[in-house]
Structures are given as structure tokens and as C-alpha cells.
Structure 1
Amino acid sequence: MFGTYWITGHSLIWRLDGANQHLPLLENFRQAMGDLLSGKIDSLPQWSYQMGLGTDNFSVYSYYLIGDIFAYLTLLFPVSKVVIIYQWLIILRLYCAGLSFVFFASHFNFSKNVINTGVLVYLFNAFLLYSAEAQPFFTTPFIIFPLLVLGIEKILQGGSPWPLTFTFIWMLCSNYYFAFVLGLGAIIYLILRVVLYYLHDLNYLKTLGKLVFATITSVLTSAIILVPVVFAVTNSTRAASNFANGLKMYPLYYYLALPSQFINGGNRDFYFWSALGFASIAFFAIIFIFSRFKRYKLLATTFVLSFIMLLFPFFGALFNGGMAPSNRWTLLLCLPLALATCALIKNASWLSDRLFKYFSYALLVYAAVIGITYYFESDEKLFVPFIFLFISLAALMLVHFKKVAHPTRFLLLVVLANVSLNAIYYEAPYNGGYSNEMLPTKTYENLKKKMYAGLDHRLAPVDQKGYRVSSTSQNFDLGAGYNLYNNLPQTTTTLSSYYSVQNKYVGEFSEDMQNIQYDANVPLRQVDDRTILNNFLGVRYIFNWLNQDNYKKIPAGYYLDKTTKMVTDPNHDSQKDQQARRYKSDNAFPLFYWQDQVFTDKQQRKYTASQKERALASGVKVSEKAAAGLKRATIKDQTVEIPYRLISSRGNEIDTHNVAKMDSDETYQLLLTRPQDQEDDKYYPDSELHLEFDNIEYEPFSLKDQIKLEQLHKSSQGIHGLLDQNNRYNYYKYLRYHVLQGSPDSSFSLKVDSSRGTETIKQPKQDALSFYKDITNGTMNVGHFDNSLPESLTFTPSKLGNYSFDLKVIATPLAKNGQYQKQVKQIQQNKLDDLKLQKDQITGRIKTNKAGILTSTIPYSKGWKVKVNGKKQKLLRTNTAFIGVKLPQGNNKVSFTYELPGAKLGTVLSLVGLLFALVGGIVSFVFYRYSRK
């Protein structure tokens, strides 16, 4: 499995989650835990100033690390070795998952070779071939689930509840998401087992008592982690997700791919996370189980239920906490499939001739289905598992006819060859193999040193200097497909953050500003390079790479501060020259500052997104109650609406409420119409240009009409496309394309090109899972223009269909000596003096000449408390997402302190749980001694 990485020079660090989340968090966690064990009590603060704008440490670490027993093994090694240990822990987790299955299977009458064959099916499937390196903690449920089943079974057979109790505690502390999935799986197992086997023989009162004891004890004992997690999740950006992303049924391509995905261990396209990809022998194992339904009722019923669950998005969303229809629950399917394989291998020598007829007929039908769907899903990685269907059947027949001396060992070797080749096909760096998504060896270490090409050297984090950094949107490409989502390896503090649990108020702020880069996992990114948002969020430095996307799209007021040495193109093409650049602004808002004018929610509901952004410099948005007695701010004449015309490339003027795109080559020009007396003059110089889209609707053409239009476009190419005029093939080609794309579907993109770069509003497909969002509006920052606004912009809808939207073109003047600059200078003068960001505490002082609001860009959380001059005051949520407080006139000493929400309640409940467990243990011991007498 890992040999391919070693041969091709790749590490086991995934370029996305591994490099952005898991490894840097593990490094920080190891450092903090080491300091804590060394006696440095302040080493684990509850609040982090460096994760994005700032966040609760617990909400991030609880998802990835706190309950992960493997993370604590890093304490056995120096901090400098964490990168290596992280990769070895990936292998150790898999090994432990294998041991867990061995322990589970040893409760049956299986030989060692039979159990080892089951282990191969259990471990080496598409789910773990991907997630073992992508999200290493995804392996832990594979360790826990067999122990969970054994714990339930022990109680059903009249045994002790303690094994289940301890497994429950591990499950609940390890990761709340998988605790939810495993918990539902345990409930389903319990119901099926009781209904199918114990219905008339169970001591219900005694069994229920043990189950209740195990559940209550584990929940209470885990509360110290569980309660704060519940607070964090319910206050995260995921809390308002649309159930199943609005799907009632999956797209056609999902059902076409599902049959082949069952055996395609080299498959990387997990449609809705239906990551199956088992060894080919599992196909025959299922048929074997159904042929002996009465003996294997539980396994057969499980397979029927699983098949039904795979067909409907409802079940994926249910197991995913009511959010996206993600079929990660299929990890639970690995255990019964591995067990079914063990049963087949054990009985392989005594299978009937009739069963081999069933095997043959089923194989022919399955091969025909795969052959038909191959016309749409032509994945060459299916070749090996498809061949192994026939090899597996041949191997079973050899065993059946006594042609093999050691049948179980022989079948073990066949399955080993199958999963090994699946792994090679999966990992190999050709045709999109998974190793291409792994960072090359030593790259992560270099990344920490050269993330910004050294231009971040000596720049301090926000908790020391009060400023943040960012990069130009879609610009700072570091190669190998690495996405610059987080900044944890660095000492600087950036806007972007990529975690599974994000502050919901920051998400609301981003959506309020119609930030087109928003999604639930990465709420801000680079805020679309918008000048005032960057200033407001305290961005003093922006990193930019010459000749990459949007390299000209620099916000207003940011000037070139430092560069690396220019690397010229060997062929003297200046468009390929390379240079990293650092831009600096003197207009960054302080982390905390005072304003004497306010806006209210009711007031801002009437504003456009550009006006809301402009209002950040004019006043502070607070509740109606907090605004009482304070002067209301205004944004009158601070933004300008620009008239425009939308012209098709066919020469027609288009109404934005009726844009019918019927040709894939059709584009549109957005002409900014100027008054006649200004045609030759500078038109709103030194302004940032926004396109505000609202009430966006898209109605795709029917599949039939889309194919017809595509064929018409092809035939219109005349002599230029003479050799492509194969109507039958073109029909099939377009049909296949649209079926695989899920057409007709609601996804689309609206792209605008200017001299500054390209911006896109994108409606994701529903299979984007946690990255899915319903797009009805968005504000594009076309860029800042020094001399004059552009005369035209190129507008391109991505797909055929009917579009309708409201569009406003807004210019925001940002002249150096204009009103905005004066407001910025005033804000900088009104900053909180002697600002100190310490462990879970922020202090400072300020003198005000009248009552007003102290605001900040520290994200709001109910864990924050505030005192002014030593007296408790009401914490305000300012500008939608940030902490603040109302200040009276005079000298004010301010102190904000943070305490993890739910921590006290969780601690009390855990102590109660331990007491409950102690009492239960004593009672169990006394009862055991009494029963023996």
C-alpha cells in the first residue's frame, strides 16, 4: 500500500487536510502538551489568536486530537520528529484496526488464514486506501466498531456491561462525528440482533439495565469533552446546513457507478462518499451469505439494509448529522463484509455445485451490468478488480474440486494479490493516482520555511503586533496542488482558516458582506481582495506571486514593500517571469478601536453589500438596545451606482432577468455607460469596482435540449470541423458528458474578466457535500482602478440554460485624501492603548470624550466576558461577528477574559459519571461475590 509512495518520492502527507490541518495541529498540540508536562501551565490556552481571526482551541483540537490516543504517542519523541511520527502513526492505526478485527474474528471458529483474509477485506478497501492518509483519524472507527459489537454482544449473552462502557467512552471522546456514526451503527446492530436471534430468549429487564448503565456512565464520564463539543458544533457554520443538500434522489451517474464501485478498489471518485472498493471475492461472499440466509440472517439482513441505504440521500444525510448526504457510514459495512468473506473462505471446500451455478450466473449478470455502465464510467482502474472477479471464482472452483493442498492459504494469497494491485492502481502517480495528491518528501518541512518565499521573515503574529496578513485570491500557488488554507506552520496570522468547526458569527459576517469566497469550512479565504474588508480585518501585508492568477488585483492603498529576486524565463517570455512580492498598507484598522457612531440591524437591512462594507469605516453595527443614546452613522454618497448595458457577443442587448445562453461560445460584454460630458475624462478614479448580484436564478435546459444545442453548435463549425461531423458519436459523447455531470442540475458559474483578473460566482454541485451552498447572491470585486473605471467587462455564464439576476455595478471611491482615508486615520487614533493579548485575556485602556462602542475583529463567542474599570459589563456582538463593549465618557480600563463554554458543566457531569461508575463497580463486585456463593 505504501510502497508506491516510497518509490515515487512522496510522503504520506496529503496536500489538503494533511498539510493544512492534521499535521500542523499535531505539531502545535505536541509542543503544548510537552510544555504542559514540563510544568508550563500557560501552554494550553483556551483561545487561539492565530487560527484564522481567532477561535476556541478546544473546538478545533476536540475534532482532530484531544480524544485521539495516537496523538499522545508523539510525546515519546522530540518535537522535531513529529513530521516523521505523523506518517508512522498512519501505518500504526491501520495495524491496530487489523488487530481489532483479528480480536473480533477470534470469537468465531475461524483459522488464522481465514481471519487474515478477512483482515485484507476489512482494511484494504477504497475507504481506507484514501482516508488513512487524507484524514488519519478516520481509521480509528475501524478499531472501535468491532469492539463495540463485541461489547453489545456480551451484554446480550448475559455478560458484563464494562467492555461496552469503556468502548463507549473511547468512542465519545475520540471524535464526536464518528461517535454519532458509530452510535447509530450500534443501535442498528442491537435492534437487528435482538429481532433476529434474541427476541424470545432475552431477559429484557436485566439487559436493558446493563445497556442503560453503559450508556449513562459513558455519556456522563465523557461529558468533560462532549458538552463543550455540543456548544461548539451548535454555534458553528455547519449548524444551518440544508438536509441532504436538498436531494431526494441521487443523480443518474451515481446509480450507474455504484455497481462497479463495489469492487473497484482503485477508484478515487467517491460519489457522495460511497467509498466501497472491496476485494473482488466479497462479491461471492455476499452470494454465499444469501444462499444460506437462515444461518446468516444478520449478515444477509445487513446487506439488504445497506443496499437500500445506498440508494437514497436521506440515509447519508441522517448519518451525517442532518447535513450533506455523505455516505461515510459505509465504514460500518466493512465489518460484515469481512466477516462474510471469512465465512466463505472457511466453507470453500464444501460448497455445493448448485452454489457455483449461482456464482457463475451472478457473475455473468454483474459483468454485463459493469459492461453497460462502462460506456459511461470508463475507468481503467476497474480492469484489475474486474479480472479478479474471474480469478476469485476460478480459485474457489480449484478449492472446491480439491486441486489445492492448502485451500485457505491459497485463497489468502489470491485476495492479497487482489488488494495489492488495487492499492498500486490507486496510489500510482499516473492518470490521477493518489500519490499525486501527496506532498513530495521533505516538502512540508520546506513549506514551513518558505511558504511566502521568505517574505514573512520577522513578521509577528496578531497577538504580538495586532495585525494580520493575507495573499491575493487564487494567486499564491506553491505547486503540487497545495491549497493555502491555513497558516499554522507560520508565526504570522492570516484571515483564512480551514477547520471542520468554524465560528458561525464569522460565517454570518462573510455572508452579510456577500463574500463570494465563503463556504462553511473556509469562511473568509482572502475576502475576494476587497480593500475595506482587508483594512477592517487588520491586514497589513498581502503576499502576491508575479504572473499567477489575479496578480494585478491588489487592493487600494497596498504598496510594494519587498520582493524576492526576479527569476526570468529562459526563453525571455516576460509573462513567465517569477517573483514573490509583499505589499504593505498603512490603512489597517487596529485590533480594538472606539467609535462614537453606530448602525443598527434595521438600518443596514436596506444597504447593499458594498454599502455594508463601506459602513465598517463609518460606524459600528450593534443591536437596537446597544445603540440607544448613540449617534446614528450614515453612508450617504460614499458609494456610487454605475449605469451599464449587457451586450451579447451576437450583438443583442440583454435583460439581466432573461439571459438565455444557447451557445457554449456565447459571451457578454458589460458596458459601463458614461455621461457624455465625461467620455474623455477620468471616470471615478481611485475607486474599487464591485458587481453586486442578487436574486440569482438558473434554470437548465432539459437533457434532450442540451444535447440538441451541443450538436447544433458542432455542426455549425462547417469545413473547420468537417472531420468531426459524426452525429451518432457526437450524440453519444454529449449524452455521456451530461450524464456524468449530472445534467440537468442546479450548478453553474458566473465569470467576469477584467484587466485586473478573473472573478467567479460559483454554485457548487450537490455532490460537493460540506462545500455545498445555495447561491442566490454574491458581490464580485473586479478590482481597484487608479486612473479610471474600465469601459467594459467580459461576462460569461458557464452552462447552457436560462439565467435571471439583479445586477448593480457599484464604485467605492478610495482616494488618498478622501473621506475614507480620513475615517481610517480617525479609527487608528481611537485604538485601544497598551493592548495586551495574553492567555485567554485581552487588556487595554482608552480615554473617550463621549460615550461610544469599543469594537474589534476578535470573533464573538459566549465564552467571552468583559469588565470596564473592574466592573462587569454586557458583552456586545459588534459588526455581526466580533466582541465589543459600550464605554462611557472618560478613562476606561478594559479587560476581556475567555472561558470555554460548557467546560464547568462538562466537568461536573464527568465527576458525577465517575461516581456513578464507581458505585456501579462496587455493586457489580458485590453481586458477583454473592452469586458465586
Structure 2
Amino acid sequence: MDKVKRYIPYLLLTGLTLFFCRIFVGRYGIFGAKVDWLSQHSVLPDYFRQQFYATGKLFPEFAANLGGGQNIYHFAYYGLYSPLILPSYLLPFVKMSDYIMAVSITGLTASVLLFYYWLKSRKTDAGTAFILSLMFLLAGPMIGQYSGQIMFVDYMPFLCLALIGVDRYFEQEKSGLFTVSVFLMIMTSFYFSIGGMLSLVLYGLHRYFEQREENRVTVRSFLRDGLCFVRSMILAVLMSGFFLVPTALALTGGRSKEQNTSFASFFIPQITVERFAYSIYGIGLTTLVITVLLTGLLYRKVYEKVLTYGCVIVLVIPVFAYLLNGGLYIRDKVFIPFLPLLCYLISIYLEKCRKRELSFIAGMIPYIITTIFVYMARNQFVSKGIGESIWKVLLAESILFLICYVLYCALKRYHKETKEILMLALPSVICLAVTMNTFYQMKPDRYVSRKLYRDVVEEQNRQAVKEALKDDDGYYRTEQMGSDDENAADLNRIWDVDQNITSIYSSAYNPDYQTFRQKTFGLEEPFRNGMMQSVSKNPVFQRMMGVRYIVSDSDVPGYTLVKKCGTTGIYQNKDAAPVMYATDRVMTEEEYKKLTFPYNQTAFLEYAVVGEHTESSDQNIMTAYEPVSLKMANNRTTGGAEQKTMQQEGQKQILFLRFRVDNAHPNKDVAVWINGIRNKLSAKDHVYYNENKIFTYAVPLKDGEDNISVTFGKGKYRLRHVQAYLGSLPERSELLYQSEIQVDKKQTEDNVIQGTIRVKKDGWFITSIPYDKHFKIYIDGKETEIQKVNTAFLGCKIESGNHELKIIYHAPGTTTGKILSLIGIAGFLLVLVREKRKQKNTR
């Protein structure tokens, strides 16, 4: 009977986890958010799995299908070697998105149960452990990020296991569980594992001084014991070398810094309420955690001081946030790994209250300070546009907790059995359960509706892509296009391993390709996040990048419907450029830089741009685009946005339009639609500000069409320096695409592209694969010098004649990483053997 009772809390916690998942997320749609979950966290693991099925390689190096072709370690953050994702390789019949939802809910449940087990193993009262486990479950980032940006929290089961492993290390002198848990945490989410390891170090110090409370600790013994403790984490890092080294090298070349901060400000304490309370991008508890940290500063025992002071220093000194964020910016998300420790500190606080180790005054003052702090910090919320309601709720909450503490102390004086968890901890749980669903982070429109989910993962999309690729022997790209929501969902979506797309959404990327899209060429930016590089509706870019097929439910200008798969059409453009070709029709990069809009775009349809000096090209033979004026035809207002019809003089195929946007309210978004093509300038305080101040459009027009629809989004802004040009795109140029490569698809996989090409004239081999210095090109078995062509893409010189051509990409750091992993595994095995021998000798 006692064994059965032991499992009741676990069953209750499991049931409550599922219940709150349903209440907070499930009733609005699927267990996934529109942003990131639908376009990254559920899609990229599916791409990894597809690539594994196609190549049989567990260690891929190149993602040819995404963003024109990228180092695959640009996507490593999204579960390339995650122990949560790899089992899905055994389940080809399960949709990855469904698998991710199941794994997320399972991981959330496992985290809560392991956290409860850990607290119980620390001799925490069963009731307290249960309430704190609920608090842990209801903390902002748990359900909020398990259904959103999964990598923020999916390491949590392994972090809880590592905390148990630390206890085992000190109590039994066994490091196996500790090392393995840290290794799994790194493999699951390397970015957040750094904060996780720091929290483990703080907890290790806490346990070390607790264990030696009665013994004298010398500097020598402390350093010796500390090195032994850290050794377990070092071995875990070494074991992860095959993953960490190439990932680190990929990140150094493909991620931009977004925040400039003075050196002195790194060491000036910075405290925000949002870092601690409710936010899914922070710790996400209630203001009780602030009170607990303030109270902890008064603790007398060294092991309690070490943990409290350590947490306070890390959480309030900005340099730690900066370093934990990889030196990119200061954001609260990196403190999510400290959530278990802070809940543990609350358990210590409740135990002290139970034992009356705190005087009434010493206990009440932190509540008063917290209340004053919340009031003084009210402008933090208003300045972010969140509104006054939240800080008022927080203020009311902190006052409530103060009243609860006073009542608790009064009752405790007359009734010694008064439960501190009911008076001090339970109000926090209730506040989290009641308010989290009403705050801005948990709005219903955050989640993917079942209809949108069905539309996005519809199998007829896969069938359409396969049909498009089936009879085409060339090397071209196939995009999927729909509404803005669907395009956002499909940024990284690949339906077939032979499908190649130009869009990409990743926190790391090829910088040359990003610069080309945003600055050199100037594509439309439909999303407020600058890293969301969508499928483009620009017909010049489509042709230049070799987008021969577009799968869509509606007509695509410039493309011909060739087949239908249910309601989904397959549209073809025979004028699309081959992804790889040879030509001698070139202009120098110096000449290209002199071109103005729209010739900076259209030039790529008539010339290849090379860096080396060549014979000057005759730019006068380029297709001409006449400047035109626009005039207002009519306007109407819909839903707060103003819609106008403008009339241009003349009837041509493409309207090139560009203007500058001066935003009078820089902390609000601005959007303008031209014939349904959206450009957006994000608010300047947006985390991923897109800097899209120049709106550029290439609008395909039907025969005889002389009106365009312009929709101005909400806001106060001015449009300046308006440029408009009309003209027809040139037909596919045989002068430019003189020799197309014939790809050997059997030999082309992962990091290798192989084929033959018949070059008519000495010239250049041109590709629309983003340039990376780690490419190698072999012509007839001999390596040739690679060069950057078309300002951002891979190319090289090539002579006339028939050639066998091979392109190989090697992700930097893969060999070094594997060697470090072998060293780490050997070291780990040696430690295990040594520990086993030591235990035998002590028996």
C-alpha cells in the first residue's frame, strides 16, 4: 500500500501537466506556436531525418536544400544530434510535427516528475515538493516554450537529471550520471547548456560546503575538489566535440551582433521584474522569487549563502547575461536554466519559515522591498508597450504575498501546525495558473490553429512537389507559395530531398547570402524578423535563382500551370536560370556597383558578375526600363488600414517600385502591400529589428493591367524618394546560359554535387549556391581556385571543352571535433573504471 501511495504524486503531476497543456495551449489549436515552432522547431528535424534516409549518413555536412545551400551546422541549434530527435529516425511513418508535439509534452512531464523526485531526494516535505513542482510546471517558459521555441526548455529533463547526478556525486562519489546528463543536455540544446552548467556549478558549490559544514576548507583542498567536480563537465564537453566544434565555427561566420553596450555597463547591476516574473522569455515565476532572493542575503550558513549570492550575482550583473548569450546581446532567456535552482531556493525558504529561523521583521522587509521595487519598475512595462495592466497585477500580487506572510506569522504564533505551503507557496501557484493565460505572451493567436496546421502539412503539397521533380532532369529549385502565414510556416519546409529552396529562417546563416538578399539585390521583407528570409515574389530573383517550379493553391504570375494535385497547382517557368552554368558573358563587380535601381536586379538576367577584371561589357544593350509616374485612382479604409488604387501610365509586364519609409513612431511596425506583396519595417525595439527602411517591389502585371492595389498599414509614416519603372523582362538568354551542367543525381548527395558540362567558350562557371570558402571545386579531377561571383555566390574560371565537375563542401571543424569526442569518451571510461576500483577498495 505504501508503494502505491508513493506513486500517487507522480500520477497527479502527470495529470495536471496534461490538464494545463490543454487549458493554456490545446484549446486554441495544436501544441505549437505560429512563430518558430511551425517554421523551425518542427520542420528542421524533419529535414535532418529526410537527409539521413536519403544518404544514410549520421554526420552530414551540407544542407543543399535550404537557403540556396548552407553549412548544415547553421541549423545545428534545432536538434541536429538531439537525443530527443534521433529516435524519430526509427519512425518514418510518423509526421515529424506530430512527433515533436508528443516529445514536447512527454519532455515537459518528465521535467516536472524529475524535479519532484529531486526535491524529495533532498528531504523536502512531500507537500512542499508537490506545490513547488506545480510552480515549476506553471512557470512562464515551461508550457510557453515547450509549445514554442522548444530549444529554450527541451534540455530541462537532462538538467534535472544532472542535479540528481550532482547529489549522487557528493553522496556516493559516482560521476557517471552527472557526466552523461550534461552530455545529453549539450546535445539537446548547446546554447542553453552553458547556463545549465553554470547553475550546476552553483549547486555543486552549495552541496560541497553543505557536506563540509563541520570541516575546515582550505584553498588547496577547494581547488583540488573543484577540479574533480568540473572534470565531469569537461569530459561531457569533450564528448560533444563532434557537434560543438563545427557548430562553433559555423556560428562565428554566420551570426550578427545586435546590441552595442559599453564595457562599464556590463558590471552595473541591472534588475527587471520581467526577468523574474511571468515572462516566457525569462524565469517566469511570481514576485515571490524576488522576495526569496532578498531574504537569502540574510542567511547565515555558508552553503546557503553560496547558492543565494551566486544566483543573485549571475541574475543582476549584465556581463553574465552577455556571456551566456554568446556575446551577442543581453536577454533574459539565458536564465531559464536557473529555474530549478530558484524553485529549490524557495523550498529552502519555506523550510526556514517552518523552523522559525527568520524573525518577523527579517521576513517581512523583503516583501516590502519587493513591492516597492515592482512599483518603481512600472515604467519597464509601459516603455515596452505591454501596458499598465501587467505591472498593476504584479503590484497587487506582491501586496497579496505580503499580506499572506503577515497572516502566516500571526497564525503560526497561535497554531504551530500552520502550513507554510498553503499560506506562502500556494498563492504563487494560483497566481501563475490564473494569470499566465491572460498575459501578452499566452494570447490565443500565438498558437497554430488546427485549420492552418492541416493546410501546412497537407500531403497533397508533398505529392505536388514530387510530381514537379519527377520528370525534370535539370538542377533547379522548387518553391512553395501561399498566404503570409503559410509562407512563414514553409520557410524551411522541404517535402523531398531533391527539392531545393531559396528561403531560410535560422539564427545562423551564410552572411554573403543574407547581405545579397537584403542589401545588394534588395528583396521585399514581408516579416518583422530580419532573419525570416521568405520565398520571394520578385520575378527577377525567381529566375536568377533557378526557381523553375512553384507549388501553390493560386495562380503565380510569370509561371504556367502544368498540373494539379487536388487543389494545389504545379506552376512552371521555363525561363528560370540553371542553378549551375558556364558563360563568358560577364561584367565586373566594379561595373555592377555603378548600376542603379532596377538594373541592380535585372542585370543578373543578362550578365554574370565577377570580381576579376574582364573586358568591359556593353551595358547599353541591357533591357531598358522606363521611369513612370503613379497617380491616385481611388481609396478606401478597411480594418484600420488604408487601401488605395494607383494608376500607372502605360501597360507593361513588371512594375519596379522603391521608396524610403520614415517611421514617425519607430517603436511600431509599418507595413505596405502592393498587389498583395508585403514589405514591413519592424519596430526599432523589436528583438530582431529588420532595418527594412527601403521598401522594394517587383510587381508582375497582367496584359493590359494599368492599376495596382496599395494597402497602407496602420501607423504614422512618410514615403520619400519614390522610384517607379516599367518594362518587360528579357527572354531566357542563350548568350548568358551557354552551358548547363548535367548533374549526376546518383553521385550527388549530402556535401557532394557531381556532373558533366560542355563549355563552349573559355569563361566562368557560375552557380547560385551561396559562397563559402570551405567549398572545393574539382574540374577533371584537379582542384581549381573558387571565386565569389554575382557578389555572393560560388564560381570559378573554366576552359572550353567537355569536363567532369565535382563540388565538395566540408564543414570546418568536423575532424577536430571527432578527435575531441574520442578523447572525451576515453577519459569518461577511465574515470568510471577508477571510481569502480575505488569503491571496491573501500568495501
Q: TM-score, normalised by structure 1?
A: 0.72
Over residues 601-630 of structure 1, what are the superposed CA-to-partner deviations in whole Å (9 max), with x where a residue is unaligned?
333332335333222123322332xx5xx5
Residue 231 of structure 1 corresponds to which residue in structure 2?
249
Provide the C-alpha distance between the structure 2 equivalents of 1:65 and 1:461, rounded to a whole number of angstroms. 30
Contact 1:241 1:323 in 2 (8 A): yes
Match of 2:187 among 157, 160, 173: 173
Provide the C-alpha distance between the structure 2 equivalents of 1:404 and 1:2, rounded to a whole number of angstroms. 37
Match of 1:468 among 452, 472, 477: 477
Contact 2:503 2:533 in 1 (8 A): yes
Relative to structure 2, which stretch is displaced further, 829-838 or 531-540? Answer: 829-838
Contact 1:467 1:590 in 2 (8 A): yes
Residue 783 of structure 1 corresponds to which residue in structure 2?
699
Contact 1:641 1:809 in 2 (8 A): no
Match of 1:876 among 770, 775, 787: 787
The equivalences for 1:679-694 within 5 A come to 683=650, 685-691=652-658, 693=660
Deviation at 1:222, TM superposition (A): 1.9
Is 1:47 equivalent to 2:14 in the alignment? Answer: no
Provide the C-alpha distance between the structure 2 equivalents of 1:246 and 1:796, rounded to a whole number of angstroms. 38
Contact 2:461 2:551 in 1 (8 A): yes
Contact 1:869 1:892 in 2 (8 A): yes
Q: What residue identity is the alignment partner of 1:781?
A: Y
Q: What residue identity is the alignment partner of 1:525?
A: S
SS of alignment partner, residue 30 of structure 2: strand
The equivalences for 1:657-806 within 5 A come to 683=650, 685-691=652-658, 693=660, 745=666, 749=670, 756-757=675-676, 759-766=678-685, 768-769=686-687, 771-775=688-692, 778=694, 780-785=696-701
Match of 1:136 among 137, 141, 150: 150
CA pair 779-497 structure 1, distance change in 2 beyond 3 A: same
Deviation at 1:926, TM superposition (A): 6.8
CA pair 189-772 structure 1, distance change in 2 beyond 3 A: farther
SS of alignment partner, residue 847 of structure 1: strand
Provide the C-alpha distance between the structure 2 equivalents of 1:358 and 1:370, rounded to a whole number of angstroms. 18
Match of 1:326 among 308, 326, 331: 331
Match of 1:89 among 103, 117, 134: 103
Provide the C-alpha distance between the structure 2 equivalents of 1:461 and 1:380, rounded to a whole number of angstroms. 58
Residue 677 of structure 1 corresponds to which residue in structure 2?
none
Is 1:389 equivalent to 2:401 in the alignment? Answer: yes
CA pair 601-859 structure 1, distance change in 2 beyond 3 A: same
The equivalences for 1:239-638 within 5 A come to 240-244=256-260, 258-259=272-273, 262-263=276-277, 265=278, 273=281, 275-279=282-286, 281-282=288-289, 284-292=291-299, 296-302=304-310, 304-305=312-313, 308-309=316-317, 316-351=321-356, 352-355=359-362, 357-358=364-365, 361-362=368-369, 365=372, 376-379=387-390, 382=393, 389=401, 392-393=404-405, 396-397=408-409, 400-401=412-413, 403=415, 407=419, 410=422, 415=426, 418-419=428-429, 422-423=432-433, 425-427=435-437, 433-441=442-450, 444=453, 447-449=456-458, 458-460=467-469, 465-470=474-479, 475=483, 477=485, 483-489=489-495, 492-511=499-518, 512-517=520-525, 522=531, 524-527=533-536, 529-542=537-550, 557-559=558-560, 583-608=571-596, 610-624=598-612, 630-636=614-620, 638=622
Relative to structure 2, which stretch is displaced further, 586-595 or 505-514? Answer: 505-514
Residue 17 of structure 2 corresponds to which residue in structure 1?
none
Deviation at 1:224, TM superposition (A): 1.1
Contact 1:689 1:789 in 2 (8 A): no
Residue 770 of structure 2 corresponds to which residue in structure 1?
859
Deviation at 1:339, TM superposition (A): 1.7
SS of alignment partner, residue 134 of structure 1: coil
Match of 1:821 among 716, 719, 731: 731
Q: What residue identity is the alignment partner of 1:533?
A: F
CA pair 490-42 structure 1, distance change in 2 beyond 3 A: closer
Provide the C-alpha distance between the structure 2 equivalents of 1:149 and 1:533, rounded to a whole number of angstroms. 52
Q: What residue identity is the alignment partner of 1:893?
A: E
Residue 809 of structure 1 corresponds to which residue in structure 2?
723
Deviation at 1:896, TM superposition (A): 1.9
Is 1:119 equivalent to 2:133 in the alignment? Answer: yes
Deviation at 1:173, TM superposition (A): 2.9
Contact 1:398 1:404 in 2 (8 A): no
RMSD across aligned positions (CA)? 4.9
Provide the C-alpha distance between the structure 1 equivalents of 2:48 and 2:372, rounded to a whole number of angstroms. 53
Contact 2:545 2:576 in 1 (8 A): yes
CA pair 645-860 structure 1, distance change in 2 beyond 3 A: closer
Residue 904 of structure 1 corresponds to which residue in structure 2?
815
For structure 2, the residue ranges without an aligned partner over 5 or more in a row are 1-19, 634-639
Deviation at 1:564, TM superposition (A): 9.3
Deviation at 1:195, TM superposition (A): 11
Residue 7 of structure 2 corresponds to which residue in structure 1?
none
Provide the C-alpha distance between the structure 2 equivalents of 1:584 and 1:929, rounded to a whole number of angstroms. 72
Provide the C-alpha distance between the structure 2 equivalents of 1:32 and 1:613, rounded to a whole number of angstroms. 33
Deviation at 1:229, TM superposition (A): 0.8
Q: What residue identity is the alignment partner of 1:589?
A: A
Provide the C-alpha distance between the structure 1 equivalents of 2:572 and 2:263, rounded to a whole number of angstroms. 46
Deviation at 1:876, TM superposition (A): 3.0
SS of alignment partner, residue 658 of structure 2: strand
Residue 894 of structure 1 corresponds to which residue in structure 2?
805
Over residues 773-802 of structure 1, what are the superposed CA-to-partner deviations in whole Å (9 max), with x where a residue is unaligned?
445x6351152346789699979797668x
Contact 2:186 2:237 in 1 (8 A): yes
Contact 1:65 1:71 in 2 (8 A): yes
CA pair 471-102 structure 1, distance change in 2 beyond 3 A: closer
Q: What residue identity is the alignment partner of 1:599?
A: M
SS of alignment partner, residue 53 of structure 1: coil
Deviation at 1:338, TM superposition (A): 0.7
Deviation at 1:809, TM superposition (A): 2.2
Contact 1:47 1:839 in 2 (8 A): no
Provide the C-alpha distance between the structure 2 equivalents of 1:518 and 1:247, rounded to a whole number of angstroms. 35
SS of alignment partner, residue 576 of structure 2: coil
Provide the C-alpha distance between the structure 2 equivalents of 1:458 and 1:246, rounded to a whole number of angstroms. 56
Deviation at 1:424, TM superposition (A): 5.8
CA pair 127-93 structure 1, distance change in 2 beyond 3 A: same
Deviation at 1:57, TM superposition (A): 3.8
Contact 1:32 1:44 in 2 (8 A): no
Provide the C-alpha distance between the structure 2 equivalents of 1:407 and 1:686, rounded to a whole number of angstroms. 77
SS of alignment partner, residue 772 of structure 2: coil
Q: What residue identity is the alignment partner of 1:503?
A: N
Q: What residue identity is the alignment partner of 2:580?
A: F
SS of alignment partner, residue 335 of structure 2: helix
Provide the C-alpha distance between the structure 2 equivalents of 1:317 and 1:812, rounded to a whole number of angstroms. 49
Residue 749 of structure 2 corresponds to which residue in structure 1?
839
Provide the C-alpha distance between the structure 2 equivalents of 1:844 and 1:618, rounded to a whole number of angstroms. 25
Over residues 47-89 of structure 1, what are the superposed CA-to-partner deviations in whole Å (9 max), with x where a residue is unaligned?
34333423344542x3222442222343665633655443232
Residue 733 of structure 1 corresponds to which residue in structure 2?
none
Relative to structure 2, which stretch is displaced further, 595-604 or 851-860? Answer: 595-604
SS of alignment partner, residue 116 of structure 1: helix
CA pair 402-260 structure 1, distance change in 2 beyond 3 A: farther
Q: What residue identity is the alignment partner of 1:821?
A: E
Provide the C-alpha distance between the structure 1 equivalents of 2:840 and 2:381, rounded to a whole number of angstroms. 65
Q: What residue identity is the alignment partner of 2:728?
A: L
Among the aligned pairs, what percent are the same residue?
A: 17
Provide the C-alpha distance between the structure 2 equivalents of 1:75 and 1:925, rounded to a whole number of angstroms. 35
SS of alignment partner, residue 821 of structure 1: coil
Deviation at 1:368, TM superposition (A): 5.7
Provide the C-alpha distance between the structure 1 equivalents of 2:90 and 2:290, rounded to a whole number of angstroms. 43
For structure 1, the residue ranges without an aligned partner over 5 or more in a row are 566-578, 650-663, 673-681, 701-742
